[in-house]
Amino acid sequence: MSRASLGFGLVKLKEALINSLSEKTLSQYISDWKTWDRFRSQSQFTEFTSESELFLYFLLKHMKYQNSVATLKRRVAGISFFLKLFGRMDFTKTHLVKQILKELYLYFFAALRVSEVVAPSKIKTGGLQVEDLIIVEGKLKIVVNNSKTDKKAKGLISWLGPLCNNTLCPIKAFREFAAIRPKVTGPFFLHQDGKFVSRYQFASMQKMCFLLKASFRIRAATQAALLGFNENTIKTIGCWESARYKLYVRPNMV
């Protein structure tokens, strides 16, 4: 095959790839790519060892502007689409990016506190353990053994169901993270080298994103209220025992 024929074939392939998207999705993806390209151009790239590292900074930096976790995922999908289209390495699929996104999704949907999710340090166990999360009849059962509202230390149970018509599904996120997680016992959230994700690390990431300590609980409670969940359901999701949950429902954030 001649070089000209190969080039023509690649052009047609790219056209087919673009035509596979709806006009609305393509428009959103173009906007997402321009946002990333502008950020990349304006950043001091010499401060980062790779484009993948710069992208992680981009994710954390832009989380403060997102109205929902789904918007963040769509932005990642848009950037990934154009990286593939241009034949470049897709750094949105790296282990660390996946780990950050999966952890945020579970933290958001379950309305959990940081202390309930991750270990107190990189070497001291705590937070959600592997055995605390299990799929039961298509739903994710989460057993929280260390909650400040669980005075009798019996353990609190939270259930997450699939979101079939949403771009972001907590069940799918759980399965994908579990598939790449090191096959060892202990805290569910680990780094690739087996060290625990610590509260300090998670809090540092939130600080970089200009997020409040309760930002995810606020957004989860607000989203649940907007979806029409009743009071008891919202209280169960976030392990609230009183009407205090109302302080976390803030529709103006969405």
* Per-residue confidence (pLDDT) for residue 56, from 0 to 100: 76
pTM comes to 0.45
Q: Which listed CATH number (1.10.443.10, 3.40.190.290, 3.40.50.740, 1.20.950.20) goes with 95-253?
A: 1.10.443.10
Give the least confident one: 30-34, 43-47, 63-67.
63-67
For 199-248, what is each residue's pLDDT tens digit? 788 777 666 654 555 555 666 666 666 555 666 666 665 556 666 666 55
For the chain, the domains span: 3-93, 95-253
Residues 6 or more apart whose Cβ sits within 8 Å of residue 207: none
pLDDT bin (cut points 50, 70, 90) of residue 136 is confident
Residue 253 to residue 212: CA distance in whole angstroms = 13
- Cα 178-182-188 angle, rounded to 5 deg: 55
pLDDT for res 234: 62
pLDDT of 131 reads 92
Amino acid 1: pLDDT: 38
| Strands (DSSP E) found in 52-208 | 133-136, 139-144, 156-160
Rounded average pLDDT over 45-51: 66
Q: What is the mean pLDDT of residues 79-103?
A: 80
What value does the mean pLDDT take over residues 136-151? 74
